[in-house]
Chains A and B, each alone.
Chain A
Amino acid sequence: MAPLAPAAATAVAAKRGLGAAFIFQKALISALVALVLFSLMIGVRTEAGPEGQLIYWTRFGDLAAMVGTVFVGSIVIELLRHWWGPVETIRVVPARVTSGLALARRAIAPVLLIGTFLVPVIFYDQRYILDLGILVLTYVMLGWGLNVVVGLAGLLDLGYVAFYAVGAYSYALLATNFDLSFWVCLPLAGILAAFWGVMLGFPVLRLRGDYLAIVTLAFGEIIRLVIINWQDLTGGPNGVSGIPRPTLFGIPLDNSDDGLAALLGIAYSPTHRIVFLFYLILALALLTNWATIRLRRLPIGRAWEALREDEVACRALGINTTTTKLSAFATGAMFGGFAGAFFATRQGFISPESFTFQESALVLAIVVLGGMGSQLGVALAALAMIGGFELFRGLEQYRMLVFGLAMVLLMIWRPRGLIGHRAPTVFLEHNQAISSDVVKEGRG
């Protein structure tokens, strides 16, 4: 932080000296507000009694504890705030720091990649870590897929999980009904999801900003409701089970005579399949990443970014916004479809419960937290979010509460995401980094 100007410093010092009464007053008000807020919701507990009649009992102890927590918490927060002093919101990064960071940034991606490649080698015996790795990579892939729509094209999509669902159900239904193999279904799932992406794209072509958000949300819900209610095709709430496992280009990874283990003449172990799934999702995720990076350099990718920055200017430059938007939706949806097909083959069972709005919000949170448009940021955010989510597995009940709170606090702390930095794809003489704090977002 830059040294404070003398006047500001004395103001802070004065505040520190005067603080006690002020802080106490503020904490008291917070506690009073908390008392009213929690009075009925926490102070009284309702439950259906033996005859179906609602009964209630009081929990004044819990209420007092909550109000006390708010009182103390508010004092702590105020103290921290005074201690840190005013924080400058716009800062210009010095050149040396920038170059240091750029070096670290160049190093971190290869290190992460190699590390990820080595995970199945190092943790071969630890099923839990491998499963967690597969889960994180699935979200990395979903995040990268949504990043095309939200991060590059600036189209806010709250129904991304619909394409995930389309991919998963495409694979599940094709494989269980027609005995098609995973490698035939994977492109089909991608194409079907892309098709639905275009279907969603058409109505939203004329919409701007937040209208888009609600239409995509509605679209996601429509797909989910249709899946639940079209029982003949999808099995309704019961889902689809018995989805075949993936094969290594036709060679099954099981204990049979023509399985991979028998062919190679090694002892069979169920870990083979997990390791295979790990590398499969890693390959799919890297494919997404590679395609995104390539597309960004093509005219279509530049059109996406132009659309994100300013739609009106974009149109004035003669860019066809219709094809630009539709291609962004289709591309993002296709990757979502791939991820869905992978999800179906990994789980062996899918049901509509896996495709709720919460999933969409989680993926969107990963993209925004990662810093929109930053591939590395999305990967780190997926690792942090899913890993963090995993930490709270013991506290099943409080997990979503903590997740919601974390979303709020992270947005307040870093509204631009973890990597709030964007390198321009086109530059004149040398690549100069811009801190995204000073970049203004267009309302696309």
Chain B
Amino acid sequence: MDYFAQQLINGLVLGSIYGLIAIGYTMVYGIVGMINFAHGDIFMIGGFIALISFLILVSLGLTFVPVILLIVLLVSMAITALYGWTVERIAYRPLRHSFRLAPMLSAIGMSFVLMNYSQIAQGARVKPVPPIITGGYTLHESVDGFVVRLSNVQIVVVITTIVLLAVFTWLVARTRLGRDMRACEQDQTMAALLGVDVDRTISMTFVIGAALAAVAGMMYLLYYGLVDFFMGFVAGIKAFTAAVLGGIGSLPGAMLGGLLIGLIETMWSAYFSVEYKDVAAFSILIIVLIFMPTGLLGRPEVEKV
């Protein structure tokens, strides 16, 4: 039971990271209707920028951890958001009205570009950092000595996710930008006729998605203590799996899907085999889609003739 509780905690933390990335996929898919294959690599870039800014801050002599974390968070969100904007501008905007395979291929191309760019710029080796946030709480200790722990890193990851989700939900539900986004999601032409700047709204969608991916990248760095140029690919597929599982286009769905994928992966590694955890996650995606083609919280797609 204790073991299960510990895995539950680990799974939820991993799931919140996936959920943050999945939101970027779901938003872009909802508005533009394309899979942004480069999103996983944007997440990886976010992790790298967090790592580099952290190194610089430490060497500047900053020691107070919350301040460091806040600055790192803001810097990586800002720069990564600009990456998201640039990618949309270069590779997707010229193809907005092209036939549907074209933007997907240019997204795959962009993914290769980002992956190899960071490999060339920062080297192919894994970059480890010492634990930044240490300590934690012991929740329960069983008779045979198994300890259920909730580390401070896990608390930080979960709290950051909740806060960002709250801010983000407010953004979509209450602000002008959120209204524009929802309008574009329903009908871009009509939205444009009613005075919504569609190009700007789509750009902002990419920017917000990239900023959330940067947060996920930083959380990944805090949690696992390493980044490498290839981590965006697998994390990206899993986050997309999460978005599809939750019903693509639905924001609560993305978060739910993220949590589910995180839990499935952790539980599978804990009780079955670590080697097949990705196989388990992908198989569940396939099984869910057979029985619920629109995902858990997705709206049924209306077939138009």
The 10 closest A-B pairs by CB, nearest first: A407-B109, A404-B112, A415-B102, A404-B113, A218-B282, A411-B106, A401-B116, A415-B98, A408-B109, A229-B275
**Residue A296 at the chain B interface, CB threshold 8 Å:** no
Report the separation of the CA atoms of residues A4 and B241 in the bound assembly, to the nearest whole angstrom.
Answer: 49
Report the separation of the CA atoms of residues A229 and B280 in the bound assembly, to the nearest whole angstrom.
Answer: 13
Mask: chain B, 83-119; 1 = CB below 8 Å from A; 0 = not? 1001000110011001111111110111111011111
Report the separation of the CA atoms of residues A358 and B8 in the bound assembly, to the nearest whole angstrom.
Answer: 34
Residues in A with CB closer than 8 Å to B90 are 408
Q: Which of B109, B130, B248, B289 contacts A411 (CB 8 A)?
A: B109
Interface stretch, picked from B11-19, B48-56, B132-140, B185-193, is B48-56
Contact A40 B53 (CB under 8 A): yes
Contact A156 B110 (CB under 8 A): no
Residues in A with CB closer than 8 Å to B130 are 53
Contact B286 A357 (CB under 8 A): no
**Residue B278 at the chain A interface, CB threshold 8 Å:** yes
**Residue A388 at the chain B interface, CB threshold 8 Å:** no
Q: Which of A54, A312, A364, A441 contacts B99 (CB 8 A)?
A: A441
Interface band, chain B: 35 or more
**Residue A203 at the chain B interface, CB threshold 8 Å:** yes
**Residue A213 at the chain B interface, CB threshold 8 Å:** yes
**Residue A129 at the chain B interface, CB threshold 8 Å:** no
Residues in B with CB closer than 8 Å to A433 are none
Task: For residue B243, give the distance in angstroms from its CB to the closest CB of chain A.
Answer: 9
Task: For residue A274, give the distance in angstroms from its CB to the closest CB of chain B.
Answer: 31
Contact B86 A37 (CB under 8 A): yes
Report the separation of the CA atoms of residues A143 and B152 in the bound assembly, to the nearest whole angstrom.
Answer: 51
Number of A-B contacts (CB under 8 A): 187
Q: Which of A47, A206, A310, A405 contacts B109 (CB 8 A)?
A: A405
Residues in A with CB closer than 8 Å to B305 are 310, 312-313
Contact B286 A215 (CB under 8 A): yes
Contact B109 A40 (CB under 8 A): no
Given the known A-B contacts A33-B82, A56-B55, are A208 and B301 also in contact in the complex, defined by CB atoms under 8 Å?
yes
Contact A408 B91 (CB under 8 A): yes
**Residue B240 at the chain A interface, CB threshold 8 Å:** yes
Report the separation of the CA atoms of residues A206 and B123 in the bound assembly, to the nearest whole angstrom.
Answer: 43
Contact B237 A218 (CB under 8 A): yes
Contact B122 A45 (CB under 8 A): yes
Given the known A-B contacts A56-B52, A211-B289, A404-B112, are A368 and B279 also in contact in the complex, defined by CB atoms under 8 Å?
no
Contact B86 A33 (CB under 8 A): yes
**Residue B1 at the chain A interface, CB threshold 8 Å:** no
**Residue A39 at the chain B interface, CB threshold 8 Å:** yes
**Residue B233 at the chain A interface, CB threshold 8 Å:** yes
Q: A208-B293, A218-B285, A412-B95 are in contact. List 17 more A-B contacts (CB 8 A).
A: A39-B79, A40-B48, A45-B121, A45-B123, A206-B289, A206-B290, A210-B29, A210-B33, A211-B244, A222-B283, A229-B275, A312-B303, A312-B305, A397-B116, A397-B119, A408-B91, A408-B113
Contact A219 B286 (CB under 8 A): yes
Report the separation of the CA atoms of residues A364 and B108 in the bound assembly, to the nearest whole angstrom.
Answer: 10
Report the separation of the CA atoms of residues A37 and B83 in the bound assembly, to the nearest whole angstrom.
Answer: 7
Report the separation of the CA atoms of residues A361 and B248 in the bound assembly, to the nearest whole angstrom.
Answer: 23
Residues in A with CB closer than 8 Å to B95 are 411-412, 415
Contact B279 A364 (CB under 8 A): no
Contact A407 B105 (CB under 8 A): yes
Contact A226 B45 (CB under 8 A): no
**Residue B128 at the chain A interface, CB threshold 8 Å:** yes
For window 255-310 of A, CB contacts with B under 8 Å fall at 310
Which residue from chain B places its CB closest to the CB of A398 in the assembled complex? B120
Given the known A-B contacts A222-B283, A405-B109, are A215 and B289 also in contact in the complex, defined by CB atoms under 8 Å?
yes
6 A-B residue pairs with CB within 8 Å: A44-B52, A203-B287, A213-B35, A357-B233, A408-B113, A412-B91
**Residue A101 at the chain B interface, CB threshold 8 Å:** no
Given the known A-B contacts A52-B128, A214-B240, are A41 and B118 also in contact in the complex, defined by CB atoms under 8 Å?
yes
**Residue B34 at the chain A interface, CB threshold 8 Å:** yes
Given the known A-B contacts A215-B286, A400-B112, are A41 and B117 also in contact in the complex, defined by CB atoms under 8 Å?
yes
Given the known A-B contacts A41-B48, A54-B55, A56-B52, are A411 and B286 also in contact in the complex, defined by CB atoms under 8 Å?
no
Task: For residue B304, give the distance in angstroms from its CB to the closest CB of chain A.
Answer: 8
Contact B293 A400 (CB under 8 A): no
**Residue B173 at the chain A interface, CB threshold 8 Å:** no
**Residue A381 at the chain B interface, CB threshold 8 Å:** no
Contact A54 B56 (CB under 8 A): no
**Residue B129 at the chain A interface, CB threshold 8 Å:** yes
**Residue B127 at the chain A interface, CB threshold 8 Å:** yes
Residues in A with CB closer than 8 Å to B279 are 222, 225-226, 229
**Residue A46 at the chain B interface, CB threshold 8 Å:** yes
Residues in B with CB closer than 8 Å to A203 are 286-287, 289-290
Task: For residue B18, give the distance in angstroms from its CB to the closest CB of chain A.
Answer: 15
For window 375-407 of A, CB contacts with B under 8 Å fall at 397-398, 400-401, 403-407
**Residue B174 at the chain A interface, CB threshold 8 Å:** no
**Residue A217 at the chain B interface, CB threshold 8 Å:** yes
**Residue A419 at the chain B interface, CB threshold 8 Å:** no
Contact B105 A364 (CB under 8 A): yes
Which residue from chain A places its CB closest to the CB of B295 in the assembled complex? A211
Residues in B with CB closer than 8 Å to A156 are 101, 104
Given the known A-B contacts A214-B240, A415-B95, A416-B99, are A408 and B110 also in contact in the complex, defined by CB atoms under 8 Å?
yes
**Residue B276 at the chain A interface, CB threshold 8 Å:** yes
Given the known A-B contacts A207-B293, A218-B241, A405-B113, are A412 and B82 also in contact in the complex, defined by CB atoms under 8 Å?
no
Report the separation of the CA atoms of residues A228 and B79 in the bound assembly, to the nearest whole angstrom.
Answer: 37
**Residue B125 at the chain A interface, CB threshold 8 Å:** yes
Residues in A with CB closer than 8 Å to B303 are 312
Report the separation of the CA atoms of residues A39 and B80 in the bound assembly, to the nearest whole angstrom.
Answer: 12
Report the separation of the CA atoms of residues A226 and B34 in the bound assembly, to the nearest whole angstrom.
Answer: 29
For window 21-59 of B, CB contacts with A under 8 Å fall at 29, 33-35, 45, 48-49, 51-53, 55-56, 59
